Structure 1
Amino acid sequence: MNYRHSFHAGNFADVVKHALVLWLLKTRQVAGPVTVLDTHAGAGLYDLAGDATRSREAEAGIARLMSADARPPLIEALAAEVAALNRSGDMRWYPGSPMLVARNLRPDDRYAGFEISGDVASLLVDSLKRYPNATGRPGDGYKAVLSEAASVSAPLVLIDPPFEQPDDYVRAAETTLAILKSAPKATVAIWTPIKDMETFDGFLRRLGPAGPTVVAEARLRPLLNPMKMNGCAMVVVNPPEGTDEAAVEICGWVVEHLGEQGGRSEIWRL
Protein backbone atom coordinates (compact mmCIF):
# COMPACT_ATOMS: atom_id res chain seq x y z
CA MET A 1 0.00 0.00 0.00
CA ASN A 2 1.13 3.56 -0.73
CA TYR A 3 -0.14 6.02 1.85
CA ARG A 4 1.68 9.30 1.31
CA HIS A 5 0.50 11.82 3.87
CA SER A 6 0.22 14.73 1.44
CA PHE A 7 -2.24 12.92 -0.85
CA HIS A 8 -4.51 11.81 1.98
CA ALA A 9 -4.26 14.77 4.38
CA GLY A 10 -7.50 15.49 6.17
CA ASN A 11 -9.26 12.25 5.28
CA PHE A 12 -11.33 10.14 7.69
CA ALA A 13 -8.24 8.25 8.86
CA ASP A 14 -6.54 11.51 9.81
CA VAL A 15 -9.61 12.48 11.81
CA VAL A 16 -9.42 9.23 13.80
CA LYS A 17 -5.66 9.42 14.26
CA HIS A 18 -5.34 13.08 15.14
CA ALA A 19 -8.34 13.29 17.45
CA LEU A 20 -6.93 10.38 19.46
CA VAL A 21 -3.35 11.74 19.38
CA LEU A 22 -4.57 15.03 20.81
CA TRP A 23 -6.42 13.21 23.58
CA LEU A 24 -3.39 11.01 24.36
CA LEU A 25 -1.13 14.06 24.59
CA LYS A 26 -3.50 15.96 26.88
CA THR A 27 -4.02 12.90 29.07
CA ARG A 28 -0.31 12.18 29.40
CA GLN A 29 0.36 15.84 30.25
CA VAL A 30 -1.72 15.49 33.41
CA ALA A 31 0.99 13.27 34.90
CA GLY A 32 3.87 15.65 34.08
CA PRO A 33 6.23 16.58 31.23
CA VAL A 34 5.78 14.55 28.06
CA THR A 35 8.23 13.57 25.35
CA VAL A 36 6.57 12.68 22.05
CA LEU A 37 8.54 10.67 19.48
CA ASP A 38 7.21 10.27 15.94
CA THR A 39 8.65 7.70 13.54
CA HIS A 40 7.02 8.95 10.32
CA ALA A 41 6.32 12.60 10.89
CA GLY A 42 5.62 13.72 7.33
CA ALA A 43 5.66 17.40 6.40
CA GLY A 44 3.93 18.66 9.54
CA LEU A 45 1.48 20.95 7.76
CA TYR A 46 -0.47 20.22 4.57
CA ASP A 47 -1.86 22.49 1.91
CA LEU A 48 -5.24 21.03 0.97
CA ALA A 49 -5.00 22.99 -2.29
CA GLY A 50 -1.94 20.89 -3.22
CA ASP A 51 -1.54 17.11 -3.56
CA ALA A 52 -4.73 16.49 -1.56
CA THR A 53 -6.86 17.84 -4.42
CA ARG A 54 -5.98 14.74 -6.42
CA SER A 55 -7.59 12.35 -3.94
CA ARG A 56 -10.33 14.75 -2.73
CA GLU A 57 -10.40 12.73 0.48
CA ALA A 58 -10.34 15.84 2.65
CA GLU A 59 -13.76 16.79 1.23
CA ALA A 60 -15.22 13.61 2.72
CA GLY A 61 -13.15 13.94 5.90
CA ILE A 62 -12.12 17.13 7.63
CA ALA A 63 -14.37 19.36 5.46
CA ARG A 64 -17.45 17.42 6.56
CA LEU A 65 -16.26 17.47 10.15
CA MET A 66 -15.87 21.25 10.11
CA SER A 67 -19.40 21.73 8.80
CA ALA A 68 -21.00 19.24 11.22
CA ASP A 69 -23.22 20.31 14.10
CA ALA A 70 -23.07 19.10 17.70
CA ARG A 71 -19.56 17.65 17.57
CA PRO A 72 -18.57 15.65 20.68
CA PRO A 73 -15.68 17.04 22.79
CA LEU A 74 -12.81 15.04 21.30
CA ILE A 75 -13.92 15.77 17.74
CA GLU A 76 -14.44 19.43 18.69
CA ALA A 77 -10.85 19.58 19.99
CA LEU A 78 -9.52 18.63 16.56
CA ALA A 79 -11.91 21.05 14.85
CA ALA A 80 -10.57 23.87 17.04
CA GLU A 81 -6.99 23.12 15.98
CA VAL A 82 -7.94 23.13 12.31
CA ALA A 83 -9.95 26.33 12.67
CA ALA A 84 -7.00 28.07 14.33
CA LEU A 85 -4.90 27.45 11.19
CA ASN A 86 -7.66 28.62 8.85
CA ARG A 87 -8.86 31.87 10.36
CA SER A 88 -10.13 33.07 6.99
CA GLY A 89 -12.48 30.08 6.92
CA ASP A 90 -11.11 28.80 3.62
CA MET A 91 -10.10 25.33 4.95
CA ARG A 92 -6.78 25.35 3.12
CA TRP A 93 -4.41 24.11 5.82
CA TYR A 94 -4.48 20.81 7.69
CA PRO A 95 -2.10 20.03 10.59
CA GLY A 96 -0.32 16.70 10.73
CA SER A 97 0.71 15.12 14.03
CA PRO A 98 3.89 17.28 14.34
CA MET A 99 1.96 20.53 14.11
CA LEU A 100 -0.88 19.32 16.36
CA VAL A 101 1.57 18.24 19.03
CA ALA A 102 3.87 21.26 18.70
CA ARG A 103 0.97 23.69 19.13
CA ASN A 104 0.04 22.01 22.42
CA LEU A 105 3.46 21.55 24.03
CA ARG A 106 4.13 23.12 27.40
CA PRO A 107 7.57 24.51 28.37
CA ASP A 108 8.75 21.16 29.79
CA ASP A 109 7.33 19.00 27.00
CA ARG A 110 9.15 18.16 23.79
CA TYR A 111 8.52 16.61 20.39
CA ALA A 112 10.98 14.90 18.03
CA GLY A 113 9.71 13.77 14.64
CA PHE A 114 11.65 11.85 12.01
CA GLU A 115 11.12 11.66 8.26
CA ILE A 116 13.12 9.46 5.90
CA SER A 117 12.29 11.37 2.71
CA GLY A 118 14.74 14.24 2.37
CA ASP A 119 12.37 16.65 0.62
CA VAL A 120 9.58 15.99 3.11
CA ALA A 121 12.00 16.26 6.04
CA SER A 122 12.91 19.77 4.88
CA LEU A 123 9.23 20.73 4.98
CA LEU A 124 8.95 19.20 8.44
CA VAL A 125 11.89 21.22 9.77
CA ASP A 126 10.45 24.39 8.27
CA SER A 127 6.95 23.81 9.68
CA LEU A 128 8.31 23.45 13.23
CA LYS A 129 10.68 26.44 13.25
CA ARG A 130 8.44 28.60 15.42
CA TYR A 131 8.07 25.91 18.12
CA PRO A 132 11.21 25.79 20.30
CA ASN A 133 10.34 22.47 21.97
CA ALA A 134 9.63 20.66 18.69
CA THR A 135 12.22 19.38 16.25
CA GLY A 136 12.03 17.64 12.89
CA ARG A 137 14.93 15.50 11.73
CA PRO A 138 15.74 13.49 8.61
CA GLY A 139 16.30 9.78 9.14
CA ASP A 140 14.85 6.32 9.59
CA GLY A 141 12.30 6.85 12.35
CA TYR A 142 12.13 3.18 13.28
CA LYS A 143 15.80 3.31 14.28
CA ALA A 144 15.83 6.85 15.61
CA VAL A 145 13.04 6.42 18.16
CA LEU A 146 14.77 3.41 19.69
CA SER A 147 17.78 5.46 20.75
CA GLU A 148 15.58 8.37 21.81
CA ALA A 149 13.18 6.21 23.82
CA ALA A 150 16.02 4.60 25.75
CA SER A 151 16.78 7.95 27.41
CA VAL A 152 13.16 8.80 28.31
CA SER A 153 11.31 7.00 31.08
CA ALA A 154 7.79 7.14 29.61
CA PRO A 155 7.62 8.60 26.09
CA LEU A 156 4.52 8.82 23.93
CA VAL A 157 5.56 7.20 20.65
CA LEU A 158 3.64 7.62 17.40
CA ILE A 159 4.18 5.06 14.62
CA ASP A 160 2.46 6.03 11.40
CA PRO A 161 4.24 4.61 8.34
CA PRO A 162 3.01 5.15 4.76
CA PHE A 163 3.00 1.36 4.21
CA GLU A 164 5.02 1.70 1.02
CA GLN A 165 7.46 -1.00 2.12
CA PRO A 166 6.44 -4.66 2.44
CA ASP A 167 8.02 -4.89 5.90
CA ASP A 168 6.28 -1.87 7.44
CA TYR A 169 3.87 -4.01 9.48
CA VAL A 170 6.75 -6.15 10.74
CA ARG A 171 8.98 -3.18 11.56
CA ALA A 172 6.16 -1.33 13.30
CA ALA A 173 5.51 -4.31 15.57
CA GLU A 174 9.19 -5.03 16.21
CA THR A 175 9.91 -1.38 16.95
CA THR A 176 7.05 -1.29 19.45
CA LEU A 177 8.37 -4.34 21.29
CA ALA A 178 11.91 -2.94 21.31
CA ILE A 179 10.73 0.41 22.70
CA LEU A 180 8.84 -1.30 25.51
CA LYS A 181 11.91 -3.34 26.38
CA SER A 182 13.97 -0.20 27.04
CA ALA A 183 11.09 2.00 28.23
CA PRO A 184 8.41 -0.26 29.79
CA LYS A 185 6.19 2.71 30.72
CA ALA A 186 6.04 4.08 27.19
CA THR A 187 2.71 4.49 25.45
CA VAL A 188 2.94 3.51 21.78
CA ALA A 189 0.18 4.49 19.34
CA ILE A 190 0.32 2.79 15.95
CA TRP A 191 -1.87 3.80 13.02
CA THR A 192 -2.69 1.18 10.40
CA PRO A 193 -5.02 1.01 7.41
CA ILE A 194 -7.62 -1.76 7.30
CA LYS A 195 -7.94 -3.29 3.86
CA ASP A 196 -8.39 -6.94 4.81
CA MET A 197 -8.44 -8.75 8.14
CA GLU A 198 -5.69 -11.22 7.31
CA THR A 199 -3.04 -8.49 7.12
CA PHE A 200 -4.38 -6.67 10.15
CA ASP A 201 -4.65 -9.83 12.26
CA GLY A 202 -1.09 -10.77 11.37
CA PHE A 203 0.13 -7.42 12.65
CA LEU A 204 -1.80 -7.81 15.91
CA ARG A 205 -0.39 -11.29 16.46
CA ARG A 206 3.12 -9.85 16.25
CA LEU A 207 2.19 -7.41 19.01
CA GLY A 208 1.00 -10.24 21.28
CA PRO A 209 3.78 -9.91 23.90
CA ALA A 210 3.52 -6.10 24.07
CA GLY A 211 1.17 -5.92 27.06
CA PRO A 212 -2.16 -4.10 27.57
CA THR A 213 -3.38 -2.89 24.17
CA VAL A 214 -6.49 -1.07 22.96
CA VAL A 215 -7.49 -1.68 19.34
CA ALA A 216 -9.72 1.09 17.98
CA GLU A 217 -11.21 0.27 14.57
CA ALA A 218 -13.19 2.61 12.35
CA ARG A 219 -14.50 0.78 9.29
CA LEU A 220 -16.20 3.03 6.75
CA ARG A 221 -17.59 0.10 4.78
CA PRO A 222 -17.64 -3.71 4.87
CA LEU A 223 -14.30 -5.34 4.05
CA LEU A 224 -15.35 -6.52 0.60
CA ASN A 225 -12.65 -4.95 -1.57
CA PRO A 226 -9.07 -5.49 -0.31
CA MET A 227 -7.80 -2.97 -2.87
CA LYS A 228 -9.50 -0.15 -0.94
CA MET A 229 -8.68 1.30 2.44
CA ASN A 230 -11.97 0.24 3.98
CA GLY A 231 -11.10 1.58 7.40
CA CYS A 232 -8.28 2.29 9.78
CA ALA A 233 -7.21 1.47 13.30
CA MET A 234 -5.30 3.06 16.12
CA VAL A 235 -3.56 0.43 18.22
CA VAL A 236 -2.48 1.85 21.58
CA VAL A 237 -0.06 -0.16 23.69
CA ASN A 238 0.13 0.72 27.41
CA PRO A 239 -2.97 2.88 27.05
CA PRO A 240 -3.68 5.52 29.70
CA GLU A 241 -6.90 5.24 31.64
CA GLY A 242 -9.86 6.34 29.55
CA THR A 243 -8.43 5.28 26.19
CA ASP A 244 -11.30 2.87 25.49
CA GLU A 245 -13.90 5.56 26.10
CA ALA A 246 -12.02 8.14 24.04
CA ALA A 247 -11.74 5.71 21.14
CA VAL A 248 -15.46 4.89 21.32
CA GLU A 249 -16.32 8.59 21.05
CA ILE A 250 -13.95 9.25 18.15
CA CYS A 251 -14.44 6.12 16.07
CA GLY A 252 -18.18 6.08 16.65
CA TRP A 253 -18.56 9.66 15.42
CA VAL A 254 -16.36 9.08 12.36
CA VAL A 255 -18.24 5.97 11.28
CA GLU A 256 -21.64 7.57 11.84
CA HIS A 257 -20.87 10.87 10.11
CA LEU A 258 -18.17 10.02 7.56
CA GLY A 259 -18.84 6.33 6.85
CA GLU A 260 -21.01 4.45 4.40
CA GLN A 261 -23.80 1.96 4.87
CA GLY A 262 -22.43 -1.11 6.60
CA GLY A 263 -19.65 0.75 8.37
CA ARG A 264 -18.92 0.09 12.02
CA SER A 265 -16.63 1.03 14.88
CA GLU A 266 -15.23 -1.54 17.25
CA ILE A 267 -13.06 -0.96 20.31
CA TRP A 268 -11.50 -3.95 21.99
CA ARG A 269 -8.41 -5.16 23.85
CA LEU A 270 -5.75 -7.69 22.99
Structure 2
Amino acid sequence: MNYRHSFHAGNFADLVKHALVLWLVETLQARGPLTVLDTHAGAGLYDLSGDAARSKEAEAGVARLMSAEGRTPLMDALAARVAALNPDGGVRYYPGSPLLIADALAPGGRYLGFELNPPVRELLTQALSDRPNAEGREGDGYAMATAEAARARGPLVLIDPPFEKPDDYIRSAETALAVVRRDPAATVAVWTPLKDLETFDAFTRRLAGKAPVLVAEARLRPLTNPMKMNGCAMVVVNPPPGAEAAAAEICGWVADSLGDPGGRAEVWML
Protein backbone atom coordinates (compact mmCIF):
# COMPACT_ATOMS: atom_id res chain seq x y z
CA MET A 1 0.00 0.00 0.00
CA ASN A 2 1.48 3.37 -1.03
CA TYR A 3 -0.43 5.51 1.46
CA ARG A 4 1.69 6.96 4.28
CA HIS A 5 -0.27 8.86 6.88
CA SER A 6 2.94 10.53 8.09
CA PHE A 7 2.60 12.89 5.10
CA HIS A 8 -0.92 13.87 6.15
CA ALA A 9 -0.74 13.79 9.96
CA GLY A 10 -2.23 16.83 11.62
CA ASN A 11 -4.12 18.00 8.56
CA PHE A 12 -7.67 19.38 8.64
CA ALA A 13 -9.17 15.90 8.25
CA ASP A 14 -7.30 14.65 11.32
CA LEU A 15 -8.73 17.55 13.30
CA VAL A 16 -12.30 16.62 12.34
CA LYS A 17 -11.76 12.93 13.02
CA HIS A 18 -9.88 13.28 16.27
CA ALA A 19 -12.02 15.99 17.84
CA LEU A 20 -15.15 13.92 17.24
CA VAL A 21 -13.50 10.66 18.36
CA LEU A 22 -12.46 12.31 21.62
CA TRP A 23 -16.04 13.43 22.18
CA LEU A 24 -17.38 9.96 21.38
CA VAL A 25 -14.98 8.31 23.84
CA GLU A 26 -15.85 10.74 26.64
CA THR A 27 -19.58 10.36 25.98
CA LEU A 28 -19.76 6.59 25.54
CA GLN A 29 -17.59 5.74 28.52
CA ALA A 30 -19.95 7.63 30.81
CA ARG A 31 -22.05 4.44 30.83
CA GLY A 32 -19.14 2.22 31.87
CA PRO A 33 -15.71 0.92 30.76
CA LEU A 34 -15.36 1.28 27.01
CA THR A 35 -13.63 -0.92 24.45
CA VAL A 36 -12.41 0.96 21.37
CA LEU A 37 -11.42 -0.96 18.23
CA ASP A 38 -9.48 0.83 15.49
CA THR A 39 -9.37 -0.88 12.08
CA HIS A 40 -6.53 1.19 10.59
CA ALA A 41 -4.50 2.39 13.55
CA GLY A 42 -1.37 3.75 11.87
CA ALA A 43 1.81 4.60 13.76
CA GLY A 44 0.13 6.19 16.78
CA LEU A 45 2.50 9.18 17.02
CA TYR A 46 3.82 11.46 14.27
CA ASP A 47 6.87 13.71 14.15
CA LEU A 48 5.70 16.66 12.08
CA SER A 49 9.28 17.70 11.33
CA GLY A 50 9.55 14.69 9.00
CA ASP A 51 7.25 13.76 6.12
CA ALA A 52 4.53 16.20 7.24
CA ALA A 53 6.94 19.12 6.88
CA ARG A 54 7.26 18.32 3.19
CA SER A 55 3.52 18.07 2.57
CA LYS A 56 2.81 21.21 4.65
CA GLU A 57 -0.65 19.81 5.48
CA ALA A 58 -0.02 20.11 9.21
CA GLU A 59 0.84 23.78 8.74
CA ALA A 60 -2.65 24.31 7.33
CA GLY A 61 -4.23 22.10 10.02
CA VAL A 62 -2.99 21.54 13.55
CA ALA A 63 -0.54 24.47 13.48
CA ARG A 64 -3.45 26.83 12.80
CA LEU A 65 -5.56 25.11 15.45
CA MET A 66 -2.89 25.66 18.08
CA SER A 67 -2.46 29.35 17.24
CA ALA A 68 -6.17 30.08 16.83
CA GLU A 69 -8.07 32.35 19.18
CA GLY A 70 -11.66 31.69 20.15
CA ARG A 71 -11.55 27.93 19.70
CA THR A 72 -14.74 26.07 20.54
CA PRO A 73 -14.73 23.72 23.57
CA LEU A 74 -14.35 20.53 21.52
CA MET A 75 -11.52 21.99 19.45
CA ASP A 76 -9.96 23.18 22.71
CA ALA A 77 -10.09 19.61 24.00
CA LEU A 78 -8.08 18.36 21.02
CA ALA A 79 -5.64 21.28 21.29
CA ALA A 80 -5.01 20.37 24.94
CA ARG A 81 -4.06 16.82 23.95
CA VAL A 82 -1.65 18.12 21.32
CA ALA A 83 -0.13 20.62 23.77
CA ALA A 84 0.49 17.82 26.28
CA LEU A 85 2.73 16.10 23.72
CA ASN A 86 4.65 19.31 23.08
CA PRO A 87 5.56 20.65 26.55
CA ASP A 88 8.23 22.93 25.13
CA GLY A 89 5.72 24.64 22.87
CA GLY A 90 5.27 24.45 19.14
CA VAL A 91 3.71 21.54 17.30
CA ARG A 92 6.44 19.01 16.56
CA TYR A 93 4.50 15.92 17.65
CA TYR A 94 0.95 15.00 16.74
CA PRO A 95 -0.96 12.10 18.33
CA GLY A 96 -2.80 9.64 16.14
CA SER A 97 -6.04 7.99 17.19
CA PRO A 98 -4.27 5.29 19.25
CA LEU A 99 -2.61 7.73 21.66
CA LEU A 100 -5.57 10.09 21.82
CA ILE A 101 -7.97 7.28 22.65
CA ALA A 102 -5.69 5.42 25.07
CA ASP A 103 -5.05 8.60 27.06
CA ALA A 104 -8.74 9.54 27.10
CA LEU A 105 -10.01 6.18 28.37
CA ALA A 106 -11.20 5.91 31.95
CA PRO A 107 -10.00 3.06 34.21
CA GLY A 108 -11.19 -0.26 32.84
CA GLY A 109 -11.28 1.00 29.27
CA ARG A 110 -9.36 -0.75 26.50
CA TYR A 111 -7.95 0.27 23.11
CA LEU A 112 -7.08 -2.28 20.45
CA GLY A 113 -5.72 -1.06 17.12
CA PHE A 114 -5.02 -3.06 13.97
CA GLU A 115 -2.39 -2.26 11.36
CA LEU A 116 -1.67 -4.26 8.21
CA ASN A 117 1.76 -2.78 7.44
CA PRO A 118 4.43 -4.54 9.60
CA PRO A 119 6.86 -1.59 9.94
CA VAL A 120 4.00 0.73 10.87
CA ARG A 121 2.65 -1.83 13.34
CA GLU A 122 6.07 -1.84 15.03
CA LEU A 123 5.86 1.95 15.39
CA LEU A 124 2.37 1.55 16.83
CA THR A 125 3.64 -0.93 19.42
CA GLN A 126 6.41 1.49 20.41
CA ALA A 127 3.98 4.39 20.73
CA LEU A 128 1.69 2.38 23.01
CA SER A 129 4.43 0.68 25.01
CA ASP A 130 3.83 2.65 28.22
CA ARG A 131 0.05 2.46 28.03
CA PRO A 132 -1.11 -0.83 29.55
CA ASN A 133 -4.70 -0.22 28.45
CA ALA A 134 -3.74 -0.20 24.77
CA GLU A 135 -2.44 -2.74 22.26
CA GLY A 136 -1.56 -2.85 18.57
CA ARG A 137 -1.95 -5.98 16.47
CA GLU A 138 -0.94 -6.79 12.93
CA GLY A 139 -3.63 -7.88 10.49
CA ASP A 140 -6.73 -7.06 8.48
CA GLY A 141 -8.52 -4.51 10.62
CA TYR A 142 -11.93 -5.01 9.04
CA ALA A 143 -12.07 -8.71 9.89
CA MET A 144 -10.23 -8.50 13.20
CA ALA A 145 -12.27 -5.59 14.55
CA THR A 146 -15.50 -7.36 13.61
CA ALA A 147 -14.39 -10.46 15.50
CA GLU A 148 -13.26 -8.47 18.55
CA ALA A 149 -16.47 -6.44 18.60
CA ALA A 150 -18.41 -9.67 19.05
CA ARG A 151 -16.52 -10.23 22.30
CA ALA A 152 -17.04 -6.71 23.67
CA ARG A 153 -20.12 -5.02 25.04
CA GLY A 154 -21.20 -1.78 23.39
CA PRO A 155 -17.80 -1.02 21.80
CA LEU A 156 -16.79 2.01 19.77
CA VAL A 157 -15.32 0.96 16.43
CA LEU A 158 -13.29 3.46 14.40
CA ILE A 159 -12.93 2.72 10.68
CA ASP A 160 -10.38 4.95 9.01
CA PRO A 161 -8.88 3.34 5.87
CA PRO A 162 -6.75 5.23 3.33
CA PHE A 163 -9.35 4.52 0.62
CA GLU A 164 -6.67 3.40 -1.80
CA LYS A 165 -8.18 -0.03 -2.39
CA PRO A 166 -11.27 -0.19 -4.63
CA ASP A 167 -13.29 -2.05 -2.00
CA ASP A 168 -12.53 0.19 1.01
CA TYR A 169 -15.93 1.93 0.84
CA ILE A 170 -17.75 -1.39 0.55
CA ARG A 171 -15.78 -3.06 3.35
CA SER A 172 -16.19 -0.03 5.61
CA ALA A 173 -19.98 -0.12 5.21
CA GLU A 174 -20.15 -3.91 5.57
CA THR A 175 -18.01 -3.86 8.71
CA ALA A 176 -20.07 -1.09 10.30
CA LEU A 177 -23.33 -2.94 9.63
CA ALA A 178 -21.93 -6.29 10.81
CA VAL A 179 -20.87 -4.74 14.12
CA VAL A 180 -24.20 -3.05 14.89
CA ARG A 181 -26.26 -6.05 13.75
CA ARG A 182 -24.42 -8.21 16.25
CA ASP A 183 -24.52 -5.57 19.02
CA PRO A 184 -27.17 -2.84 18.74
CA ALA A 185 -25.41 -0.99 21.57
CA ALA A 186 -22.21 -0.59 19.51
CA THR A 187 -21.24 2.69 17.87
CA VAL A 188 -19.20 2.79 14.66
CA ALA A 189 -17.48 5.93 13.34
CA VAL A 190 -16.26 5.88 9.74
CA TRP A 191 -13.97 8.59 8.39
CA THR A 192 -14.09 9.24 4.64
CA PRO A 193 -12.55 11.79 2.29
CA LEU A 194 -14.83 14.05 0.29
CA LYS A 195 -13.71 14.20 -3.31
CA ASP A 196 -16.94 13.86 -5.27
CA LEU A 197 -20.55 13.45 -4.19
CA GLU A 198 -21.25 10.39 -6.34
CA THR A 199 -18.78 8.20 -4.45
CA PHE A 200 -19.82 9.51 -1.05
CA ASP A 201 -23.54 9.20 -1.77
CA ALA A 202 -23.08 5.59 -2.86
CA PHE A 203 -21.36 4.88 0.45
CA THR A 204 -24.07 6.46 2.59
CA ARG A 205 -26.80 4.64 0.62
CA ARG A 206 -25.29 1.35 1.76
CA LEU A 207 -25.95 2.39 5.35
CA ALA A 208 -29.29 4.13 4.97
CA GLY A 209 -32.22 2.46 6.69
CA LYS A 210 -30.12 -0.16 8.48
CA ALA A 211 -29.54 1.81 11.72
CA PRO A 212 -29.48 5.44 12.90
CA VAL A 213 -26.69 7.18 10.96
CA LEU A 214 -25.19 10.63 11.51
CA VAL A 215 -23.41 12.25 8.56
CA ALA A 216 -21.05 15.13 9.38
CA GLU A 217 -19.25 16.89 6.54
CA ALA A 218 -16.55 19.55 6.63
CA ARG A 219 -16.10 20.94 3.13
CA LEU A 220 -13.09 23.19 2.69
CA ARG A 221 -13.95 23.97 -0.91
CA PRO A 222 -16.67 23.09 -3.44
CA LEU A 223 -16.61 19.49 -4.63
CA THR A 224 -15.57 20.37 -8.17
CA ASN A 225 -12.24 18.52 -8.42
CA PRO A 226 -12.53 14.79 -7.66
CA MET A 227 -8.72 14.47 -7.72
CA LYS A 228 -8.40 16.59 -4.57
CA MET A 229 -9.60 15.98 -1.04
CA ASN A 230 -12.05 18.86 -0.90
CA GLY A 231 -13.26 17.95 2.56
CA CYS A 232 -13.95 14.99 4.78
CA ALA A 233 -16.82 13.36 6.60
CA MET A 234 -17.43 11.38 9.74
CA VAL A 235 -20.31 8.93 9.39
CA VAL A 236 -21.43 7.60 12.77
CA VAL A 237 -23.67 4.55 12.99
CA ASN A 238 -25.69 4.43 16.24
CA PRO A 239 -24.53 7.88 17.42
CA PRO A 240 -25.08 8.72 21.10
CA PRO A 241 -27.33 11.64 22.11
CA GLY A 242 -25.66 14.98 21.48
CA ALA A 243 -23.62 13.76 18.51
CA GLU A 244 -25.29 16.12 16.03
CA ALA A 245 -24.42 19.19 18.09
CA ALA A 246 -20.87 17.96 18.69
CA ALA A 247 -20.30 17.25 15.00
CA ALA A 248 -21.75 20.60 13.97
CA GLU A 249 -19.41 22.41 16.36
CA ILE A 250 -16.35 20.55 15.08
CA CYS A 251 -17.13 20.62 11.35
CA GLY A 252 -18.29 24.22 11.57
CA TRP A 253 -15.05 25.37 13.18
CA VAL A 254 -12.86 23.50 10.68
CA ALA A 255 -14.80 24.70 7.63
CA ASP A 256 -14.99 28.30 8.85
CA SER A 257 -11.43 28.55 10.17
CA LEU A 258 -9.47 26.45 7.69
CA GLY A 259 -11.60 26.39 4.53
CA ASP A 260 -11.87 28.57 1.46
CA PRO A 261 -14.63 31.19 1.30
CA GLY A 262 -16.86 28.53 -0.27
CA GLY A 263 -16.28 26.06 2.54
CA ARG A 264 -19.13 24.91 4.74
CA ALA A 265 -20.26 22.29 7.23
CA GLU A 266 -23.27 20.01 6.85
CA VAL A 267 -24.58 17.66 9.53
CA TRP A 268 -27.70 15.52 9.28
CA MET A 269 -29.22 12.14 10.12
CA LEU A 270 -29.91 9.60 7.38
What is the TM-score when the length of structure 1 is the normalising length?
0.98
Instruction: Note the alpha carbon deviations across 1:150-208, whole angstroms, 9 max, x for none.
Output: 01120000000011111100000011111112222100000000000000001011112
Alpha-carbon distance, 1:209 to partner: 4.0
Report what 1:244 is aligned to. 244
Q: Secondary structure at the match of 2:252?
A: helix
Q: Is the 8 A contact 1:2 1:162 kept in 2?
A: no
Alpha-carbon distance, 1:40 to partner: 0.2
Q: Is the 8 A contact 1:177 1:207 kept in 2?
A: yes
Alpha-carbon separation, structure 2, partners of 1:54 and 1:2: 17
Alpha-carbon separation, structure 1, partners of 2:30 and 2:130: 24
Aligned length: 270
Can you give the 5+ residue segments of structure 1 that lack an aligned partner in the other structure? none
Indicate yes or no: 2:54 matched with 1:54.
Answer: yes
Report what 1:221 is aligned to. 221
Letter in 1 for 2:262: G
Alpha-carbon separation, structure 2, partners of 1:79 and 1:121: 26
Matches within 5 A, 1:1-270: 3-270=3-270
Q: Is the 8 A contact 1:176 1:210 kept in 2?
A: no
RMSD value, Cα: 1.1
Alpha-carbon separation, structure 2, partners of 1:232 and 1:105: 25
Alpha-carbon distance, 1:79 to partner: 0.2
Q: Secondary structure at the match of 1:174?
A: helix
Q: Percent identity?
A: 67
Alpha-carbon separation, structure 1, partners of 2:196 and 2:3: 16
Q: Is the 8 A contact 1:191 1:234 kept in 2?
A: yes
Q: Is the 8 A contact 1:2 1:163 kept in 2?
A: no
Alpha-carbon distance, 1:3 to partner: 5.0
Alpha-carbon separation, structure 1, partners of 2:212 and 2:2: 30
Q: Secondary structure at the match of 1:58?
A: coil
Can you give the 5+ residue segments of structure 2 that lack an aligned partner in the other structure? none
Instruction: Note the alpha carbon deviations across 1:212-250, whole angstroms, 9 max, x for none.
Output: 011000000001111000000000000000000000100
What is the TM-score when the length of structure 2 is the normalising length?
0.98
Alpha-carbon distance, 1:2 to partner: 6.6
Q: Secondary structure at the match of 2:253?
A: helix
Alpha-carbon separation, structure 1, partners of 2:156 and 2:127: 21
